[in-house]
Amino acid sequence: MTVENWFEGRVAVVTGGGNGIGRAHALALGRHGAKVVVNDLGGAPNGQGASHEAADAVVAEIRAMGGEAVANHDNVADPATGAKLTQCALDHYGRVDVVIPSAGIVVNNRFEDMTADDLDRVIDVHLKGSFFLAQSAFRQMRAQGYGRFVFTGSGTGMFGHGWMGNYAMAKAGIVGLSHIVAIEGAPHGIVSNVLMPNASSRVGVAMGSGFRELPAFAASMDRIDFAANRKGDPGYSAALALYLASDRCARTRGVFSYAFGRYGEVPLAVSRGWQVEGDEMPGPAEIEKHWDAICRRDELDEPADVYDEYALVLGIR
């Protein structure tokens, strides 16, 4: 691995930076020259408990390699934490250039049994935690004229996973959040993308096995030999995160995936579909008649925003 100071003079905030994928992000940023605010509550994968050890250990590792880092132990589920993290970066290093919200918990249950508390606990950490940190950092980045966001998505949010309705909602919401940050940040040198990482981590182990009551879904999972995954180290995901967080990446409003050694883009596209002719409103029978055309995927468009889809349909792009 080539180590270059891609982030010399840059300041990064990483939540969930004490363990797993967040830890890999924080260490890689420090290794490549960034000053890093390492946030981690230090709780269990289900969000219970707290400890300073995880964040402090990562800070010590960054400093041992000659880098600069400071720990923060606040809970991102608290809306006030986002502003505290931005202020921490400003107080110690004078700016904030990179934000990677990686804090996460899992509270799994079947969809029909999921409680309001199950939902709130996961949404508060993943989605609201990302939102309030991004909102606070965005204001500073706008004033600077520069910023990079790498939000943490998931294949669960894009493709689905049994017994993880709350997690899927949160991760799908993060895609929408990143799009808005990208659109509103574009005039100010702010780039925003989503990374769907894949790695062996304690959160993955904590998923449980209740979803195995779903035969087809369990069979889909059983095809994968996770024990043989030689490219499951979180550092593989961190490599993509660092590129997206760098000033060398001009791409914005994208969704990218890492899995088992493969790096790829997750396109967000719409089919050319079936165009209604004339002024007569169709009914469900007409929809059924043209269903194959509606679902054809040989020609796809990727709208840049909601109105770009309308322009594509109207032929005025």
CA gap 146, 149 in Å, rounded: 10
* Domain span(s) for CATH 3.40.50.720 in the chain: 11-265
pLDDT digits (tens, 9 = 90+) for 150-208: 999 999 999 999 999 999 999 999 999 999 999 999 999 999 999 999 987 666 666 77
pLDDT exceeds cutoff 70 at 313:
yes
Residues taking part in catalysis:
167
pLDDT of residue 195: 99
pLDDT of residue 208: 75
Helical spans, DSSP H, in 255-302:
284-289, 291-295
CA gap 252, 150 in Å, rounded: 10
Question: CB-based burial of residue 48 (10 Å sphere; 0-12 exposed, 13-18 middle, 19+ buried)?
Answer: exposed
pLDDT exceeds cutoff 70 at 2:
no
CA gap 199, 206 in Å, rounded: 13
Mean pLDDT for 282-294 is 98
What CATH code would you report for 11-265?
A: 3.40.50.720
Category of 278 on φ-ψ map: left (φ > 0), alpha (ψ -120 to 50) or beta: left
Mean pLDDT for 26-40 is 99
Question: CB-based burial of residue 111 (10 Å sphere; 0-12 exposed, 13-18 middle, 19+ buried)?
Answer: exposed
Helical spans, DSSP H, in 145-258:
155-159, 165-185, 202-205, 215-222, 234-245
Q: Quick one: pLDDT band at residue 61, thresholds 50, 70, 90?
A: very high
Q: How is residue 256 annotated by DSSP?
A: E
Provide, rounded to the nearest whole percent, the portion of the chain with pLDDT above 90. Answer: 91
pLDDT of residue 245: 99
Amino acid, single-letter form, for residue 59: V
pLDDT digits (tens, 9 = 90+) for 259-275: 999 999 999 999 999 99
The answer to whether residues 69 and 35 touch, using CB atoms and an 8 Å cutoff, is yes
The answer to whether residues 152 and 104 touch, using CB atoms and an 8 Å cutoff, is yes
pLDDT of residue 1: 62
pLDDT of residue 205: 64
Mean pLDDT for 223-228 is 86
Compute the mean pLDDT over every residue in the chain, rounded to the nearest whole number.
96
Amino acid, single-letter form, for residue 273: G
pLDDT of residue 202: 64
CA gap 284, 230 in Å, rounded: 50
Q: Quick one: pLDDT band at residue 229, thresholds 50, 70, 90?
A: confident
pLDDT of residue 209: 86
Question: CB-based burial of residue 148 (10 Å sphere; 0-12 exposed, 13-18 middle, 19+ buried)?
Answer: buried
Helix (H/G/I), strand (E/B), else coil: 176: helix
Category of 161 on φ-ψ map: left (φ > 0), alpha (ψ -120 to 50) or beta: beta
The answer to whether residues 71 and 59 touch, using CB atoms and an 8 Å cutoff, is yes
The helix-helix angle for 20-31 and 53-64 (nearest 10°) equals 20
Q: Quick one: pLDDT band at residue 67, thresholds 50, 70, 90?
A: very high
Q: Tokens at residue 18, please?
A: 């004490």
Least confidently predicted of 22-31, 37-46, 207-216, 235-244: 207-216
pTM of structure: 0.96
Mean pLDDT for 54-79 is 99
Mean pLDDT for 284-305 is 97
pLDDT digits (tens, 9 = 90+) for 87-132: 999 999 999 999 999 999 999 999 999 999 999 999 999 999 999 9
